[in-house]
Structure 1
Amino acid sequence: MVTSSGADRDRDAHGRAENARPRDGLGRPLPHGSPGVERVEARDRTPDEALAEAQDYLDHEMPFHAHEVLEEQWKSAPDPERVLWQGLAQLAVGLTHQRRGNTRGAASVASRGADAIERYVAIAPHGIDVAGLVAWARAMTGDPSAEVPVPSLRS
């Protein structure tokens, strides 16, 4: 990692801005030098690997990290599935906002995620419980301050 000369921002080897600060389990930046949770490894994953890894993060109350896995999958998915993966990533962001106490953000992002994945209900690719996730997101959107269980990505 390289830091730029004037702005003192974290940069990658290509000079792009990068936040190397440690993060907590909900993805909030911590001060440099603080112990944080391990970051999500950027790598190619099969859909099955991505779903299993994202579910593991969700089950460990780390929805921000689940979002990172799902977002990476979205960006590499074939066109017919891109909206599905984007919507799944949005659901994880919605849960992240909810866990952070940002109920307005939680409702907004979860609603967009549900709208995105709803078109996949009939085909439910990769064993994804699309109908269950839409119902979960609609319930969270209806009352984002209520206790919300971790969703199950697959049936």
Structure 2
Amino acid sequence: MAERDRTVDGKPQNARPRDALGRPLPYGEEGVERVPEDLQLEPDEAITEAQRLLDHGYPFHAHEVLEGTWKSAPADERTLWQGLAQLTVGLTHLLRDNPAGAASLLRQGEARIRHYEDEPPHGLDIDGLAAWAEHLLTEIARGEPIPAPPIPRLRLP
């Protein structure tokens, strides 16, 4: 049995390179730069970085940024960050041609962010994100390929 990749402190870690959608590539192939596992940005920085990654076609990496903030967020915002991460990984699944996984994550993410629609924190466009998720869910339900799904806008214009 092959040895598992591990961090310096012995924690299991998959060190294989990844493609733009976060899929593991064979060792030796060139992948895209990964988001550090311990990255924990402040909310405004995380939103800005996640949007930059989304705009450049890296929704999996945006999910990693948002997940880091979710893990360090105050208790009253964890559901928000979890929902945002689920929306971006839902887009990742859609781009990986996994509509069932995409639909599940989009529904969960939308339900979580809806708790913040009355007073959206950090300038987030909760209504716009929910409408974006609903649009994708409608398209997925049609059962036809979605060649170029729209990129979500995290903040209000």
- Tell me the TM-score normalised to structure 2 length: 0.92
Q: Which residue of 1 aligns with 2:90?
A: 94
Question: In structure 1, what is the Cα distance between the partners aligned to 2:81 and 2:30?
Answer: 31
Q: Which 4+ runs in 1 deviate beyond 2 A?
A: 41-44, 144-147
CA root-mean-square deviation: 1.1
Question: In structure 1, what is the Cα distance between the partners aligned to 2:40 and 2:110?
Answer: 25
- The alpha carbon displacement at 1:138 in A equals 1.2
Gaps of 5+ in 1: 1-5
AA at the equivalent of 1:71: E
Aligned residues: 150
Q: Which residue of 1 aligns with 2:151?
A: 150
Contact 2:40–2:65 (CA under 8 A) maintained in structure 1? no
Q: Which residue of 2 aligns with 1:26?
A: 21
Question: In structure 2, what is the Cα distance between the partners aligned to 1:92 and 1:49?
Answer: 16
Question: In structure 2, what is the Cα distance between the partners aligned to 1:68 and 1:131?
Answer: 23
Q: Which residue of 2 aligns with 1:3?
A: none
- The alpha carbon displacement at 1:14 in A equals 2.3
Identity of paired residues, percent? 56
Q: Which residue of 2 aligns with 1:116?
A: 112
- The alpha carbon displacement at 1:139 in A equals 1.2
Superposed CA deviations along residues 95-135 of structure 1, whole A, max 9, x for unmatched, are 00000110111011000000000010011100000110011
AA at the equivalent of 2:35: V
- What secondary structure sits across from 2:14 in the alignment? coil
| 1:127-146 matches, cutoff 5 A | 127-144=123-140, 145-146=145-146
Question: In structure 1, what is the Cα distance between the partners aligned to 2:8 and 2:151?
Answer: 37
